[in-house]
Amino acid sequence: MPDNQALILISIYLKISELYDFDLKYVCQRFSNNNEPEFTDQEVMTVFLYAMSQEERFTISQIYKFTDRYLRSWFPKLPSYVAFNNRVNRLGEAFSRLCSILLCDHKPVDCSLDFSLLDSMPIITCSGKRAGKVAREITNKGFCSTKNLYYYGLKLHALAFWRPNRLPFPESLVLTPASENDLNVFKQNWSGIRNRVFWGDKIYIDAPYFKQWESQTNSIMYTPVKHVKGTTDCIKQRDRASDDLFSKAVSTIREPIESLFNWFIQKSDIQRASKVRSTKGLIVHVFGRIAAAYIGLIFNS
């Protein structure tokens, strides 16, 4: 292994070990006789994050084969593939907590605290033409208007800080079944934020709600223009120029959050979850890959 890659591997292990002792161990504690396995949780998370962020191994089998072939001298207690897969699937809450810590501790200094971008992305377990059989307690059928696609799976909702000429940085990430409406997610999770300007797409349009909300929080929601049902063609033609300019301006400001989701997909292949076979595995699939994307960003820079 090249010296620079060895240094990254060691750095990731030290970082995970520090966070594990301080925080992560409390969400993956064992209360059995096997509470101190030879191949530790810290090592499991390290090889997962390293192989995904540095070697672009996006499946558990690829991660295991890479570790077995190239990192065996670093991790001599590596168990069998079945045992390794089970160990990874037990760490969903730890990966979720790790995401929260990374996003909190590594927020860039150029994040705007006054402007936030909103959007969501599908996590697809199978196409809508089939009946979803994986993780039914947290997934269902939904529709992605961007892709014009019906699918089974989850939806990843992001509230992100706007950054000038850079990718937005997530302030909060929420995971819901695919059918959950984006506006409901906003109302349930982020409607209490005060003194903020939000930029969303047409799904966030609810004039009566946001008029009252604005007076209560001193925040405002900007979305592209959507004509009310029953608007006459005469009025539409009269307002077309101003409406088009305003909608284009909102879409231009919102565009970077779509780039953020594309970056997630490029760095971790997060959108395709067709090989996941359990609820625990699906949680790891989402939060493990987000953590890997930011681990790669942190240590490669």
DSSP letter string, 176-206: EETT--HHHHHHHHTTT--S-EEE--GGG--
Task: For residues 148 and 186, state if they share a domain.
Answer: yes
Of 55, 90, 125, the residue that ends a domain is: 90
SS3 59: coil
Q: pTM of the prediction?
A: 0.91
Task: For residues 227 and 120, state if they share a domain.
Answer: yes
> pLDDT at position 285, please?
95
Say if 217 falls within a structural domain: yes
Enclosing domain of residue 8: 3-90
Task: For residues 116 and 227, state if they share a domain.
Answer: yes
Task: For residues 131 and 72, state if they share a domain.
Answer: no
Q: What stretches in the chain show pLDDT beneath 50? A: none
CA–CA dist 107, 133 (Å, integer) = 37
Say if 299 falls within a structural domain: no
Say if 277 falls within a structural domain: no
Say if 212 falls within a structural domain: yes
Task: For residues 263 and 130, state if they share a domain.
Answer: yes
Task: For residues 195 and 117, state if they share a domain.
Answer: yes
Say if 103 falls within a structural domain: no
Rg (CA), the chain: 22
Task: For residues 144 and 82, state if they share a domain.
Answer: no
Task: For residues 195 and 51, state if they share a domain.
Answer: no
Task: For residues 63 and 133, state if they share a domain.
Answer: no
Say if 104 falls within a structural domain: no
Say if 229 falls within a structural domain: yes
> pLDDT at position 80, please?
95
User: Quick one: tokens of 76?
Assistant: 């001599």
Number of domains in the chain: 2
> pLDDT at position 142, please?
92
Say if 38 falls within a structural domain: yes
